[in-house]
Each structure stands twice: as structure tokens, then as C-alpha cells.
Amino acid sequence: MTRKRPAKSTQYAVSDEAAAYIADALMELALQFEATHFAQIRRHYHSITPAPSTVPRQLDLFEKHPSRNSRKRNTSQI
């Protein structure tokens, strides 16, 4: 069923089936384009990505303790 819209509308009235076919065609086109130009797209996004910050985002709220693995266990009492 096609809906009628005012003449000044910028949207086109299409059937549900036509909308599905158009969406499938556009998705296929986008996937083919991405597959063909993947390396270029990746290089572009890599070039505009800011470098990671060396400043930690998490504040150091507690003093540093040696890790459990670095402490020597007293195994002679076992």
C-alpha cells in the first residue's frame, strides 16, 4: 500500500517491498565499497585518531603495594 504525501514533501512514497529492495541494494553497495577500499578507510581513521594519552585517567587513590607474586612465601613452616 502506497501512502500519499503532500506535494512539497521531500520524502518519496514507496511500498514496503520496494523499501526493502532499496535497503538491500544500498547495503550491498556499501559492503562492496567497504571491501574494496578497506585499507584506505582504515588508514584514514588511523590518521585522525588521537594518540593515546600518557596521563592515566584513573587517579591513584591508594599507595602502591608490592604484588602478591613478588613477596616470598615462607614455605618452611608448612
- What does the pLDDT look like over 21-73, one tens digit per residue? 999 999 999 999 999 999 999 999 999 998 887 877 777 777 777 666 655 55
Grid cell locating 3? 501512502
Q: Is the pTM of this model over 0.85?
A: no
Question: Is 40 strand, coil or helix?
Answer: helix
Residues in the chain: 78
Q: What is the CA radius of gyration of the chain?
A: 30
